[in-house]
Chains A and B, each alone.
Chain A
Amino acid sequence: MGLSLLLPAALAALAALALPLAIHLARRTTLREVDFAALRWLRPASHPQRRLRFERWPLLLLRLALLALLALWLAQPVWRATRERPVVAVMPGVHAATIARLELPGNADLRWLADGFPALESPMPASPQPITSLLRQLDAELAPATALTVLATAAFDGADAQRPQLSREVDWRVMDDPPPAHSPPAAAAAPVLVLQAGTDPGASAVLRAVARAWRADADTPRFDASHPPDPADHLLAWLDPAAPPTVVLDWVRAGGVLLLDASVAKPAADAWRPAWSDAEGRSLLELAALGRGRMARFSRPLHAERMPELFEADFPRALLAALQPAAPAPTRAVASQYRPRQVATTHIPPGRELRPWLGLLIALLFALERLVAARGWQRSAA
């Protein structure tokens, strides 16, 4: 679609074109004065010679061009690559045989609906892809007139919670190809609490109670450095005021979750942030990432007088929620229910910014204009 303006109202600056026109007209009225003794044989032209005539055409044209370019510069021109070919975006999972059967526009630009929009000839990208986000990106990057066809599998992952709203009418075709393998995130099971007891039996008792609240069949084994527990379903509580040894920290780096008592000094970590606060906003639990795992540390001793929340019935569940990462939101959608809607949008399609080049051109023209003007001035002065 070529050149377009981001700020067309700035073209009102073209009114400034009247300026050089007026200057060149006005300069004409200031006639050069000459002494002429034989004036009595001079008669003013009988019909007034009041034609509009501009002086010094080349300079005038230069100045007009300069001002027009300045107005254009203000209007923020962008250059958009012309892509009139209709685009067919194919979700990963649609088979090549299916596509071959379809009637698609002959010159269609076939692309995977995947990160970077690779051509269809390239191998099928891995799924799931953030389909809705990709749709929005594609819609924003395409010229407004380009037709978009999406070949969707019957169901797909990577959907938003609502139907996408795009700026164009999308030819949304649902293929009956089997959707890619789907593995819904398993509901996280409560972990087994591995307990390294410290000097305070009260705190150990609290945590054992918590572990029993999490899992009815729970026992709380001790940490065995020679057989470290599986980080996936174990949680290590460290109540020993002595700092956790390197092997524990390595276990955390491998993906484990370490819960520290308030009496334990904070191990070095990037940033401790409060993960759980009481009703008055005071921190109960702080979290820090370490490697792939995480460390949590109670801000206060596990005593009811210091931490009344221990009496709360949902203390174990709240503690677990604070320790475990939030489960991902479901992103699977049925394609036939997920047809994008067309909405009026104020979105401005991107393009190559032309301002720097225009600025260069303006500078060149200005230099040329000064040159021509100076030369004319010299000639009139000579």
Chain B
Amino acid sequence: MDRALLPPQLRSQLKGLRLRPRLAPGNRGVGLHPSRNRGAGLEFSQYRAYEPGDDLRQVDWKLYARSDRFFVREAERESPLTLWLLIDASASMRQADPARPDWQRLDAARVLAAAIAELALAQGDRFGLIELRETGPQHLPASTGVRQRDRLWLRLQALRAEGELPGDAQLEPIWGRVQRGDLAVILSDGFDPRLIALAERLAAAGRELIFLQLLTAAERDFPFHSGHRFRDPETGAEIRGDGRALRAGYLERFGQMLAALDARLDAAGIARARHVLDEPLLQPLRQLFGHAAWA
């Protein structure tokens, strides 16, 4: 790992932030997150004596053969929350600001994803990664632990933004990964309506969704004054024009789009935050996972 994905300063600021799914019903268990299974997990925890009412499937029959007693394999209770980080890897994520050309949208997405995974790791939650690449979604299976974090960082650092978003048919496997009740954080510029539609459908199907929109300062301010050839990195379409002449119309339409997007996300019950590349990274995290968000 050539450099730490998460700046130490940001990592220290993560204290006090919590992943708290809003959809969680409050009547299940006493853990940090409500449980939805009955304690049968993947990782062995201990044996305990059979009690009437235990599922016969959980009786360890080999141990019974050796000891002539019924023991029940008890697994560590699975963490009820699974976090999925969905990162848009289309070419538009390569966009950077003229003032800071080496800080792409994808770089911000990487750091934010690492920060959110850090939160999950601190809480013992499982976290996985889904890269929305042109060739189809690539996923890192959800798990927890420091090694999972290393795997995640490796994947994040190898991630490159190219091409367009995968088609709807290719997005189908996401439904199998992101289970009902899981928390999914989408990191994208939010320019592709298909991704918004996917988020809406996931939210409607009982998934907990967070949409973290990443914008460049140029998209917010449109600081172009002379003639330019504006090129869409995904489609290659071009618009020529004088920055001053285009500015007013662009800012108006862009503002309308953001307002419409906010309204859609709100209507779908999707938590949202917006990060502009020249702003501090902590701000959207605090907005999503800080004390104010718990209320």
User: Which A residues contact B (CB, under 8 angstroms)?
Assistant: 28, 31-45, 49, 55
Contact = CB atoms under 8 A, between A and B. Distances in A.
A34 B95 CA distance: 10
Interface string B214-240: 001011000010111111111101011
A41 B228 contact: no
Please indicate which of the listed interface residues A38, A40, A43 has the most CB atoms of chain B within 10 Å of its own CB: A38
A42 B230 CA distance: 9
Contact of A31 (B94, B98, B228, B254): B228
A44 B230 CA distance: 10
Contacts of A38: 189, 191, 219, 250, 254
A34 B224 CA distance: 10
Interface of B: 91-92, 94-95, 98, 105, 189, 191, 216, 218-219, 224, 226-235, 237, 239-242, 245-246, 249-250, 253-254, 257
Contacts of A49: 241-242, 245
Contacts of A42: 230, 239, 241, 246, 249-250
B29 to A, nearest CB: 44
Given A41-B257, A49-B242, A32 B95 contact: no
A43 B191 contact: no
Nearest to A46: B249
Contacts of A36: 95, 218-219, 230-232
Given A31-B229, A43-B253, A37 B234 contact: yes
Given A37-B234, A44-B241, A31 B219 contact: no
11 contacts: A36-B231, A37-B219, A39-B230, A39-B232, A41-B257, A42-B230, A42-B239, A42-B250, A43-B253, A44-B246, A45-B242
Contacts of B228: 31-34
Nearest to A34: B228
A45 B230 contact: no
Given A31-B227, A32-B227, A37 B232 contact: yes
Contact of B250 (A34, A41, A55): A41
Contacts of A41: 250, 253-254, 257
A35 B231 contact: yes
Given A36-B218, A42-B246, 6 more contacts: A36-B232, A37-B219, A38-B189, A42-B249, A44-B246, A45-B242
Contacts of B242: 45, 49
A28, A41, A44, A55: most-surrounded residue (chain B CB, <10 A): A41
A35 B229 contact: no
A326 to B, nearest CB: 84
- Residue with the highest number of chain A CB atoms closer than 10 Å, among B219, B237, B241: B241
A34 B232 contact: no
Contacts of B246: 42-45
Nearest to B235: A39
Contacts of A34: 98, 224, 228-231
A32 B242 CA distance: 11
A87 B224 CA distance: 69
Contacts of A40: 191, 232
A190 to B, nearest CB: 99
Contacts of B230: 34, 36, 39, 42
A146 B219 CA distance: 73
A38 to B, nearest CB: 5
Contact of A37 (B189, B224, B229, B239): B189
Contact of B233 (A37, A43, A45): A37
Nearest to A33: B229
Among A32, A37, A41, A49, max chain B CB count under 10 A is at A37
Contacts of A44: 239-241, 246
A35 B230 CA distance: 6
Contact of A45 (B234, B245, B257): B245
